[in-house]
C-alpha cells in the first residue's frame, strides 16, 4: 500500500460511496471497504488489474477516463478518488471538473515535478529526470502531464475549485516539516481534498 | 448463441483420469400440471422442462446457479451423456470441477427452454387439444415466459434464491429479466455478450433466417411433421447466415482464409472450385438442419427480436434496473458485432445510473460472438474471480 493512500483514508466518511478512478488491483478500495465500510466502485483499464480487483470482491468497470465520464450521473458519489493518475490522462483539467461533478468531494494525488531532485536533475544534467520514483524515459511514459504543486493550485484557482485539505509527502518520513513548509520544493507526492 | 460444433478440442473425455469434467450426466424431466400464463395471453398446460444438474445442492440451498441457454442451445451444458459420447455439453469449458462455474462449489441447473426441441414442451410436442404436433400453433414465447417457467423449476427444486443466474447472448437477456421479475430470488446476474434489445440489423439477420425456412417448400406452412418432411434446406441456409454473423472477419480469415478444399484456380484448369469456408458452412448447415426444429428456430429468433428489457418500464433502462436487487457482471468481446461491446456498455451505463453494483470487462478476442463459448484466458480468469465472490457472498 502506497503511503499517500494511508493519508487519504481519514478523509473518507464511513459508509460513504466512493468511486476510485484508476483503481489498480483494488487494494485501496478493498481496504476502504474493510475499514470504512464504503460502497465502492473502481474504474480501470488494465486487464490483469481488473481481474485482481474482481478477485478482491470489488465492483470494477473497464472504462478509459480519457474517453469521458459522462455515464456517471451528477453527484452520484460522496468521494471520487484519483491516485497518481492525473499526470497520465489526456485532459487533467476536464477530468478534475468531471470528478467534482460526479462526487461531492474529490481526492487527487500526484507526483510533484517541482521537487528539488527533479529540478537538480534537470538543472544540472539538462535532461528529463529519470528516478526510482519516476522511472520512465520521456519518450516512453504514461506520464504525459507532469505538474508542480504550484501549477496544480493555480489550476484550482482558475477553475474555482476549493482546496479543503492538502497533505504533502516528503521523500522520507523524516522530512514532513520541510515538505509542509516548502511543498513545491520538498513534496514528492501532493495529496489534495477538493470540492466546488 | 451456443454452437456445439465450435467446441474447442482437447477437452477431457468422461473417463479421462483427473478429469475436470462433470462426467456422465443424465437429463431429468419436470412435469407441471398448473397452467403457465404466457405473455401472449394464452395458457400452456401441461408442460415439461428437461434439465440437467451438476454439483450438489448444499444444506442451506444457497449455492444454486441457473444457466440460461441461447438461441440454439439446450439443457446439455456440461459433461457427457455416455462413455462414448464424442462431444461434451455446449459450455463444458466453463462448467465443471475447478472451472469458473465450479461444480465443487455450485449446484448448477441447466434446462432446455419451453419452445425448444430437445425435450422440453415445444412445437414438436403433441398438442393435447388436437392430438397432433403443435407445429406452428405452438404459442409464441417471450424471454419472460422462459423466466417464469424457470421460476417454477426453481420452486420444484427447492431453490428460493439463485446464487447467480448466468447467460450468454439470448441467455443474458433471460438473466437480466430474472433480475427484474424476481429481484428477491437472484443474488448475482451474469450477462455475457448480450443486449437490452436487438438492433434493426440484428432483427434483419433473424428475418433472413426465418424467411429461408419459410420459403423451403418442405416447410409446409410449419406442418412439416404432419407432412412427414423436414425443411432441411431452409434450416441449413438459416444456420449458414447465422453462423457468419457469430464469427468475426478476422476469425474467418484465420480459420479459412482463401484456402481451397478442392479444384484449382490456375489458368487453363477447368472444373468447380470449393473454398474451405464454403465446405465449412455447408457442413454447419447440414449438421444443424438434422438436429434442430424449424418451428423452434422461428420461435426462438422471434423471442430474441421481441425482447426489450425496458419496454414495461417506460422505455427507461435506468428505471428498469432500479427494480433489481442483485450485483451484475457484464462481459463483452471486442470483435463481437452481433452483440457488440457498445450494447453491453448500454447495460453497464444504465446500471451505473440506477446505482446498482456492476462489474464490466471488454475481453479482447478474435472469435466474434462465439467467443463466449471459447476458452479465452482473460475471460476465464475474470469469470472465475467473479464466481469466487458469488460463492462467498
Closest in B348, B353, B357 to A73, CB measured: B353
Q: Which residue of A has its CA nearest to B391?
A: A57
Contacts of residue B381 in chain A, CB cutoff 8 Å? 51
User: Of B278, B285, B126, whose CA–CA distance to B209 is shortest?
Assistant: B285
Cell numbers describing residue A180: 509542509
Closest in B345, B358, B385 to A55, CB measured: B385
Relative to beta strand B188-192, strand B164-168 is parallel
pLDDT for A53:
98
Q: Which listed residue (B110, B149, B169, B344) is catalytic?
A: B169
A62·B361 Cβ contact <8 A: yes
Q: Are A15 and A40 in contact (CB under 8 A)?
A: no
Closest in B357, B362, B381 to A59, CB measured: B357
Inter-axis angle of helices B276-289 and B232-246, to 10 degrees? 120
Question: What are the C-alpha distances in Å from B86 to residues B9, B102, B130?
Answer: 11, 22, 38
What is the architecture, at CATH level 2, of domain B199-263+272-306?
Answer: Orthogonal Bundle (1.10)
Q: Are A107 and A191 in contact (CB under 8 A)?
A: yes
Give the distance from residue A101's alpha carbon to the nearest chain B alpha carbon, in angstroms: 14
Annotate B178-202 with b (16+ C-beta within 10 A) or e (fewer): bbbbbeebbbbbbbbbbbbbbeeeb
Residue B59 a catalytic site member: no
pLDDT for B8:
42
Helix (H, G, I), strand (E, B) or coil at A170: coil
pLDDT for A177:
81
- From the options 3.30.2290.10, 3.40.50.1820, 3.30.530.20, 3.50.50.60, give the CATH code of B22-197+310-392: 3.40.50.1820
Rounded to 5°, angle at Cα B22 from B20 and B27? 160
Residue A192 CA to residue A179 CA, distance in Å, equals: 14
Q: Which listed residue (B74, B118, B243, B369) is catalytic?
A: B369
Please state the separation of Cα A12 from the chain's center in Å: 15
**Residues 6 or more apart in contact with residue B241 via CB below 8 angstroms:** B205, B208, B209, B212
Question: What are the C-alpha distances in Å from A51 to residues A42, A44, A159, B96, B381?
Answer: 12, 10, 36, 20, 7
Phi, psi of A68 (to 5 degrees): 100, 165
- Residue A185, classified by CB atoms within 10 Å of its CB into exposed (0-12), middle (13-18) or buried (19+), is middle
Contacts of residue B380 in chain A, CB cutoff 8 Å? none
- Tens place of pLDDT per residue across chain B (393 aa): 444 444 444 444 455 544 789 999 999 999 999 999 999 999 999 999 999 999 999 999 999 999 999 999 999 999 999 999 999 999 999 999 999 999 999 999 999 999 999 999 999 999 999 999 999 999 999 999 999 999 999 999 999 999 999 999 999 999 999 999 999 999 999 999 999 999 999 999 999 999 999 999 999 999 999 999 999 999 999 999 999 999 999 999 999 999 999 999 889 888 899 999 999 999 999 999 999 999 999 999 999 999 999 999 999 999 999 999 999 999 999 999 999 999 999 999 999 999 999 999 999 999 999 999 999 999 999 999 999 999 998
pLDDT for B6:
43
Contacts of residue B362 in chain A, CB cutoff 8 Å? 62
Q: Which residue of A has its CA nearest to B347?
A: A71
Contacts of residue A62 in chain B, CB cutoff 8 Å? 360-362
Give the distance from residue A36's alpha carbon to the nearest chain B alpha carbon, in angstroms: 18
Closest in A50, A52, A73 to B361, CB measured: A50
**Is B364 part of any known ligand binding site?**
no
Residue B105 CA to residue B86 CA, distance in Å, equals: 26
- Tens place of pLDDT per residue across chain A (196 aa): 455 567 888 899 999 999 999 999 999 999 999 999 999 999 999 999 999 999 999 999 999 999 999 999 999 999 999 999 999 999 999 999 999 999 999 999 999 999 999 999 999 999 999 988 788 999 999 999 999 999 999 999 999 999 999 999 886 666 678 888 899 999 999 999 999 9
A54·B362 Cβ contact <8 A: no
Annotate B303-331 with b (16+ C-beta within 10 A) or e (fewer): bbbbbbbbeebeeebbebbbebebbbbbb
pLDDT for B3:
47
DSSP state letters, B307-337 = -BTTGGGTT-HHHHHTT--SEEEEEEETT-S
Q: Where are the domains of chain B?
A: 22-197+310-392, 199-263+272-306
Inter-axis angle of helices B294-306 and B232-246, to 10 degrees? 40
Residue appearing with cell numbers 428498469 = B320
Q: Which residue of B has its CA nearest to A58?
A: B359
Contacts of residue B392 in chain A, CB cutoff 8 Å? 57
**Is B259 part of any known ligand binding site?**
no
Whats the size of chain B, residue-wise?
393
Give the count of beta carbons closer than 10 Å to the beta carbon of residue B209.
Answer: 23
Give the distance from residue B313's alpha carbon to the nearest chain A alpha carbon, in angstroms: 20
Residue B89 CA to residue A142 CA, distance in Å, equals: 45
Q: Using a CB–CB cutoff of 8 Å, tell me whether B378 touches chain A.
A: yes
Q: What domains are defined for chain A?
A: 3-112+144-195 (3.40.50.150)
Contacts of residue A74 in chain B, CB cutoff 8 Å? none
A51·B385 Cβ contact <8 A: yes
Residue B199 a catalytic site member: no
Interface of B with A in 314-343 (CB under 8 A): 327
Number of Cβ pairs < 8 A linking chain A and chain B: 52
Interface of B with A in 358-377 (CB under 8 A): 358-362, 364
Residue B336 a catalytic site member: yes
Give the distance from residue B329's alpha carbon to the nearest chain A alpha carbon, in angstroms: 9
Q: Which residue of B has its CA nearest to A55?
A: B385
Question: What are the C-alpha distances in Å from B187 to residues B63, B161, B178, B268?
Answer: 11, 7, 10, 67
Question: What are the C-alpha distances in Å from B102 to residues A15, B65, B92, B152?
Answer: 33, 10, 11, 24
A61·B327 Cβ contact <8 A: no
Question: What are the C-alpha distances in Å from B24 to residues B10, B79, B80, B85, B104?
Answer: 17, 6, 5, 9, 16
Residue B89 CA to residue A53 CA, distance in Å, equals: 31
Q: Which listed residue (B72, B289, B336, B344) is catalytic?
A: B336
- Express each pLDDT in B106-118 by its tens digit: 999 999 999 999 9
Cell numbers describing residue B316: 427507461
Cell numbers describing residue B322: 432500479
ipTM of the prediction greater than 0.90, yes or no: yes
pLDDT for B197:
98
- The Cα diameter of chain B in Å comes to 75
pLDDT for A173:
60
B357·A76 Cβ contact <8 A: no
Contacts of residue A63 in chain B, CB cutoff 8 Å? 360
Residue B288 CA to residue B369 CA, distance in Å, equals: 18
Amino acid at each position: 500500500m502506497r503511503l499517500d493512500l494511508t493519508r487519504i483514508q481519514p478523509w473518507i466518511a464511513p459508509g460513504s460511496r466512493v468511486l476510485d478512478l484508476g483503481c489498480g488491483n483494488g487494494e485501496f478500495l478493498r481496504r476502504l471497504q474493510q475499514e470504512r465500510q464504503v460502497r465502492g466502485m473502481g474504474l480501470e483499464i488494465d486487464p490483469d488489474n481488473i481481474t485482481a480487483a474482481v478477485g478482491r470482491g470489488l465492483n470494477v468497470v473497464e472504462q478509459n477516463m480519457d474517453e469521458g465520464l459522462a455515464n456517471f450521473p451528477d453527484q452520484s458519489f460522496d468521494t471520487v478518488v484519483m491516485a497518481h493518475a492525473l499526470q497520465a490522462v489526456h485532459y487533467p483539467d476536464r477530468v478534475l471538473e468531471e470528478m467534482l461533478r460526479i462526487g461531492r468531494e474529490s481526492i487527487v494525488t500526484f507526483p510533484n515535478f517541482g521537487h528539488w531532485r527533479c529540478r537538480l536533475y534537470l538543472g544540472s544534467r539538462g535532461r528529463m529526470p529519470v528516478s526510482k520514483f519516476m522511472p520512465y524515459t520521456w519518450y516512453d511514459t504514461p506520464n504525459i502531464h507532469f505538474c508542480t504543486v504550484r501549477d496544480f493550485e493555480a489550476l484550482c484557482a482558475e477553475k474555482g475549485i476549493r482546496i479543503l485539505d492538502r497533505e504533502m509527502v516528503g521523500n522520507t518520513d523524516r522530512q514532513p516539516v520541510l515538505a509542509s513548509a516548502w511543498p513545491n520544493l520538498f513534496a514528492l507526492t501532493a495529496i489534495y481534498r477538493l470540492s466546488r | 448463441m451456443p454452437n456445439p460444433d465450435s467446441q474447442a478440442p482437447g477437452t477431457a473425455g468422461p473417463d479421462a483420469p483427473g478429469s475436470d469434467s462433470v462426467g456422465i450426466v443424465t437429463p431429468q424431466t419436470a412435469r407441471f400440471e398448473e397452467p403457465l400464463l404466457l405473455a401472449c395471453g394464452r395458457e400452456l398446460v401441461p408442460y415439461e422442462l428437461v434439465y440437467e444438474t451438476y454439483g450438489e445442492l448444499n444444506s442451506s440451498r444457497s449455492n444454486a446457479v441457473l444457466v440460461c441457454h441461447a438461441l440454439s442451445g439446450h439443457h446439455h451444458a456440461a459433461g457427457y451423456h455416455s462413455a462414448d459420447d464424442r462431444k461434451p455439453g455446449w459450455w463444458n469449458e466453463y462448467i465443471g470441477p475447478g472451472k469458473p462455474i465450479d461444480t465443487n462449489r455450485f449446484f448448477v441447473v441447466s434446462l432446455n427452454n419451453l419452445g425448444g426441441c430437445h425435450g422440453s414442451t415445444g412445437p414438436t410436442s403433441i398438442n393435447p387439444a388436437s392430438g397432433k404436433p403443435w407445429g406452428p400453433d405452438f404459442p409464441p414465447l417471450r424471454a419472460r415466459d422462459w423466466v417464469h417457467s424457470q421460476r417454477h423449476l426453481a420452486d420444484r427444486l427447492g431453490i428460493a434464491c439463485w446464487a447467480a443466474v448466468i447467460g450468454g447472448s439470448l441467455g443474458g437477456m433471460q438473466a437480466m429479466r430474472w433480475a427484474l421479475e424476481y429481484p428477491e430470488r437472484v443474488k448475482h446476474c451474469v450477462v455475457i455478450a448480450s443486449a437490452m434489445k436487438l438492433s434493426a440489423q440484428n432483427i434483419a439477420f433473424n428475418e433472413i433466417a426465418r424467411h429461408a425456412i419459410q420459403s423451403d417448400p418442405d416447410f409446409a406452412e410449419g406442418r412439416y411433421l404432419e407432412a412427414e418432411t423436414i425443411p432441411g434446406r431452409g434450416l441449413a441456409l438459416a444456420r449458414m447466415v447465422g453462423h457468419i454473423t457469430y464469427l468475426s472477419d478476422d476469425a474467418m480469415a484465420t480459420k479459412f482464409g482463401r484456402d481451397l478444399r478442392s479444384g484449382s484456380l490456375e489458368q487453363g484448369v477447368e472444373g468447380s472450385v470449393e473454398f474451405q469456408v464454403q465446405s465449412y458452412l455447408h457442413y454447419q448447415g447440414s449438421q444443424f438442419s438434422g438436429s434442430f426444429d424449424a418451428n423452434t428456430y422461428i420461435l426462438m429468433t422471434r423471442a430474441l427480436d421481441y425482447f426489450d428489457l425496458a419496454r414495461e418500464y417506460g422505455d427507461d433502462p435506468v428505471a428498469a434496473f432500479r427494480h433489481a436487487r442483485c450485483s451484475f457482471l457484464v462481459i463483452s468481446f471486442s470483435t463481437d458485432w452481433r452483440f457488440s461491446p457498445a450494447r453491453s456498455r448500454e447495460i453497464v451505463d444504465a446500471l451505473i445510473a440506477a446505482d446498482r453494483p456492476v462489474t464490466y470487462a471488454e475481453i479482447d478476442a478474435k472469435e466474434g460472438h462465439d467467443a463466449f463459448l471459447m476458452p479465452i484466458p482473460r475471460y476465464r480468469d475474470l469469470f472465475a474471480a467473479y464466481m469466487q465472490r458469488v460463492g462467498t457472498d
